[in-house]
Structures are given as structure tokens and as C-alpha cells.
Amino acid sequence: MAAAKIKKGDQVIVLSGKDKGKTGTVTKAMPKDGKVIVGGVNVATRHRKPSQANPQGGLERIEAPLHISKVAHVTADGKPTRVRFETRDGNKVRVAVKTGDAING
């Protein structure tokens, strides 16, 4: 299994689909499924009947997962970049391909 190039807390931009161009922070990463959930992006609406847990019912908006290939890490100037791994000072670090900067996390 490959190492995770996109992790929880990363700033990402959506590359394709209805939310193309939107940016957000990864709230959950699912590396085994190859998916991520990005805050405020790919919001699905579900109609819910009233229940004991939710007596009001109504419309429920949830963020649906996106495939990792549809998002890219964002550089400091707001442009998308790929991520590669390098060894610096004996440590494996994630590096932005466009800028060469280390990605903290």
C-alpha cells in the first residue's frame, strides 16, 4: 500500500466535477478506499424522516467523499501541485512538486 500523499488537515483544490475549482481542508482521509472528505465540497442533501434522534426531520446536508485523484494539494499562492516524497535529514517528508517546499503534517 502506498503512503498517503493527502492527509487530514491538508488544503486541497478540486480538479474535476461539479465543485471544480473549490478549495477546502481535508476533514477525513480514507486511504484504504482512496477517498477524502473536504469541508464544504461535494455536499449531498438527504431527506430524513423525523426520528427520536432528530425529531424535526427535514433536509440533512452531508459532505460526501471524493476520490483522491480529483483533488490536489494547494501551494501558498493557491495553485494545485502534485506531491512527492523525499528524504531530508534522514526523514521521509512530503514535498510540493511545483515549489519544492516541504509539506508539514
* pLDDT higher than 70, residue 105: no
pLDDT digits (tens, 9 = 90+) for 58-104: 999 999 999 999 999 999 888 999 999 999 999 999 999 999 999 98
Its pTM stands at: 0.84
Whole-number percent of the chain with pLDDT over 90: 87
Compute CA distances 43 → 1, 46, 61, 62, 90, whole Å.
29, 10, 6, 6, 41
The domain ranges of the chain are 11-51+58-78
CATH class of residue range 11-51+58-78: mainly beta
